[in-house]
């Protein structure tokens, strides 16, 4: 393998037949003559039975596994797991754990398994918890974490460490890491958090400190790219079923009953899409990636009336980020971390539907609105998310002990890997509405595609205009496919000649944006 183009975020290593390794940084990249130690797992009675326990240095995991016979081998990530050589002596390790951003089932499991992994696999005894997110580094006390103190926390929702948004001050955080002589930092959080982790790692590297920074990606919305799915997501989908079931019971118990359920998903509608697919009781699923409209032919009101006539009841699931452009003219407000503060689309929609059907010549309806969002986020992880969170935490521990830094541990095609931080922060994972999964969902609900708004429909949800060749299109809010996946093509929904259409545009083509 030939190494080229090294930067501080990731190391690109090229091999035969188009093989590329997007490798994570290592402490030895910027600190020379580091001492190494044998991995104590060799003599651990539990692990010594495994025939090949240590991961081969050359093991990597392919990002895209659907290939053609002439395809280049493509991007790979370093396989996670214990290494024969460690770059930390267990007695010298002083680790800290911090949780940031919104709650997510499984946070406590990850904390528990970092503490227990460090202790039982490597004999590390000094682990501290940072109180209330990034700002806790410089404004709060820390708490000592031991296997005993974390033994049953995985049965509780939330995070025992507390969390926060905002308050990321890189130099104050790194000063504090130095002052406390911390040499392993475990950062559990979403895209915002991992951007913060990246800044911390960079500053640590600039100061030449022997401190490993390991991220564990957390997002209930499943909006982190590259990884198969995020921990807590399955639990959220499962818990959402309870709300959908309740909505269904309410709706079927009255004449023309409508159950409306709002689920989380600020920019990505994965929870709504999977909960809908799992339930089979949902008649319509609305997500941020797929624009919709209420009035006229092909609109939501028409569909509701049709379903009520056919079945006498219906269930609508709406992701919190859906239809934000319809709710109100946006005067964009941000939270402390810079995330868009959303209007309550569920409440808005329930009022709009009630208002519409109260008109003369419309139907008498009974609508029940259920908002289970924070209840879903606050529960403990289910069994499969507990196992998943355990493996993510253990991978992070193995990686840090082996001297890797500036990485997150993540599942790629079912294998645990180390991914450079920049790869998971550079974009958000979104439902691709031109993919099969959305089509499966549409076929399960048989809802309208909302692709042909009637002439004269308000254009206020048009985001910007683009020109492709000589044509100017009005672009509706929609995800862009990852250009890495599809040879520079991205899908946009455009408004042309009074109807919405999909267009594939090349990222390289001249795209002029104007509001």
Ligand X SMILES: Nc1ncnc2c1ncn2[C@@H]1O[C@H](COP(=O)(O)OP(=O)(O)O)[C@@H](O)[C@H]1O
Decide which of ligand X, Mg ion, ligand FBP, none touches 220; Cβ closer than 5 to 8 Å per partner kind: ligand FBP
E strand spans, 444-483: 464-468, 471-476
Contacts to ligand FBP from residues 187-216, by CB under 6 A = 190, 192
- The total of other beta-carbon atoms located within 10 Å of residue 199's CB is 19
For 500, the token pair is 């919405």
- Our CB check for ligand FBP shows the closer of 192 and 215 to be 192
For 186, the token pair is 């475990």
- Our CB check for Mg ion shows the closer of 190 and 321 to be 190
Residue 12 near residue 86 (C-beta atoms within 8 A): no
- Our CB check for ligand X shows the closer of 38 and 338 to be 338
Q: Taken in order 59, 80, 424, 224, is the CA torsion positive or negative? A: positive
For 47, the token pair is 């692990």
Candidates 115-123, 301-309, 331-339, 345-353: pick the segment binding ligand X (CB under 6 A).
331-339
Residue 55 near residue 80 (C-beta atoms within 8 A): yes
Question: Does 158 contact ligand FBP by CB under 6 A?
Answer: no
Residue 103 near residue 165 (C-beta atoms within 8 A): no
Tell me how many residues contact ligand X (CB under 6 A).
Answer: 22
Which one of the listed residues 23, 131, 221, 281 is annotated catalytic? 221
Decide which of Mg ion, ligand X, ligand FBP, none touches 134; Cβ closer than 5 to 8 Å per partner kind: ligand X
Instruction: List, in order, residues 6 or more apart from 412 with CB less than 8 Å away.
Output: 61, 63, 77, 226, 227, 228, 419
Question: Does 288 contact ligand X by CB under 6 A?
Answer: no
Query: Closest separation between CB of residue 188 and ligand FBP, Å?
Result: 11
> Torsion angle of alpha carbons 101, 106, 109, 110, nearest 10°?
-50
Decide which of Mg ion, ligand FBP, ligand X, none touches 265; Cβ closer than 5 to 8 Å per partner kind: ligand FBP
344 is catalytic: no
Scored b (16 or more CB within 10 A) or e, 24-63 reads bbbbebeeeeeeeeebebeebeeeeeeeeebbeeeebbbb
Question: Does 221 contact ligand FBP by CB under 6 A?
Answer: yes
Which of 79, 195, 202, 266 contacts ligand FBP by CB under 6 A? 266
- Our CB check for ligand X shows the closer of 338 and 498 to be 338
Cα–Cα nearest to 165, from 353, 336, 399: 336
264 is in an annotated binding site: yes
Question: Does 191 contact Mg ion by CB under 5 A?
Answer: yes
- Our CB check for Mg ion shows the closer of 192 and 477 to be 192
Candidates 172-180, 219-227, 275-283, 359-367: pick the segment binding ligand FBP (CB under 6 A).
219-227
Which of 25, 81, 102, 406 contacts ligand X by CB under 6 A? 102
Residue 237 near residue 275 (C-beta atoms within 8 A): yes
Instruction: Give the DSSP H or E segment for 387.
Output: helix 383-401
Known catalytic residues? 221
Residues in binding site for substrate: 219-221, 264-266, 320, 374-377
Contact residues for ligand X, defined by CB under 6 A: 100-102, 133-134, 164-168, 189-193, 195-196, 199, 219, 337-339
């Amino acid at each position: 393998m030939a190494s080229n183009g090294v930067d501080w975020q990731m190391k690109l290593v090229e091999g035969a037949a188009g093989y590329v390794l997007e490798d994570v940084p290592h402490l030895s990249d910027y600190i020379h003559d580091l001492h190494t130690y044998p991995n104590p797992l060799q003599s651990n009675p539990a692990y010594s039975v495994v025939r090949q326990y240590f991961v081969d240095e050359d093991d990597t995991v392919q990002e895209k596994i659907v290939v053609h016979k002439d395809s280049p081998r493509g991007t790979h990530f370093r396989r996670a797991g214990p290494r024969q050589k460690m770059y930390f002596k267990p007695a010298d390790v002083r680790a800290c754990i911090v949780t940031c951003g919104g709650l997510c089932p499984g946070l406590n499991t990850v904390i528990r398994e970092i503490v227990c992994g460090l202790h039982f696999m490597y004999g590390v005894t000094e682990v501290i918890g940072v109180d209330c997110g990034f700002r806790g580094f410089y404004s709060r006390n820390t708490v000592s974490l031991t296997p005993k103190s974390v033994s049953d926390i995985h049965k509780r929702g939330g995070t025992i460490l507390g969390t926060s948004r905002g308050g990321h001050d890189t130099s104050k955080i790194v000063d504090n890491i130095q002052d406390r002589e911390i040499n392993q930092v475990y950062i559990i959080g979403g895209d915002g958090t991992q951007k913060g982790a990246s800044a911390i790692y960079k500053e640590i590297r600039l100061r030449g400190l022997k401190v490993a920074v390991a991220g564990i990606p957390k997002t209930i919305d499943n909006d982190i790219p590259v990884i198969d799915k995020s921990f807590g997501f399955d639990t959220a989908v499962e818990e959402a079923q309870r709300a959908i079931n309740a909505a269904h019971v309410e709706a079927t118990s009255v004449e023309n009953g409508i159950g409306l359920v709002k689920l989380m998903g600020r920019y990505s509608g994965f929870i709504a899409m999977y909960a809908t697919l799992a339930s089979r009781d949902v008649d319509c699923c609305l997500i941020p990636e797929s624009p919709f409209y209420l009035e006229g032919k092909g609109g939501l009101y028409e569909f509701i009336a049709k379903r009520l006539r056919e079945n006498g009841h219906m269930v609508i699931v709406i992701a919190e980020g859906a239809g934000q452009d319809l709710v109100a003219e946006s005067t964009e407000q941000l939270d402390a971390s810079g995330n868009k503060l959303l209007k309550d689309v569920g409440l808005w929609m329930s009022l709009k539907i009630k208002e519409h059907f109260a008109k003369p010549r419309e139907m008498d309806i009974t609508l029940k609105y259920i908002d289970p969002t924070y209840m879903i986020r606050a529960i403990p992880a289910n069994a499969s998310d507990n196992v998943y969170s355990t493996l993510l935490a253990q991978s992070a521990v193995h990686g840090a002990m082996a001297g890797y830094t500036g990485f997150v541990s993540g599942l790629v095609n079912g294998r645990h890997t180390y991914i450079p931080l920049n790869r998971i922060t550079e974009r958000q994972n979104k439902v691709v509405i031109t993919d099969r999964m959305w089509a499966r969902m549409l076929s399960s609900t048989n809802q309208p595609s909302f692709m042909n708004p009637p002439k004269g429909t308000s254009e206020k949800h048009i985001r910007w205009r683009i020109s492709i060749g000589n044509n100017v299109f009005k672009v509706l809010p929609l995800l862009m496919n990852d250009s890495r996946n599809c040879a520079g093509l991205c899908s946009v929904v455009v408004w042309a000649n009074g109807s919405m259409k999909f267009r594939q545009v090349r990222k390289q083509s001249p795209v002029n944006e104007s509001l």
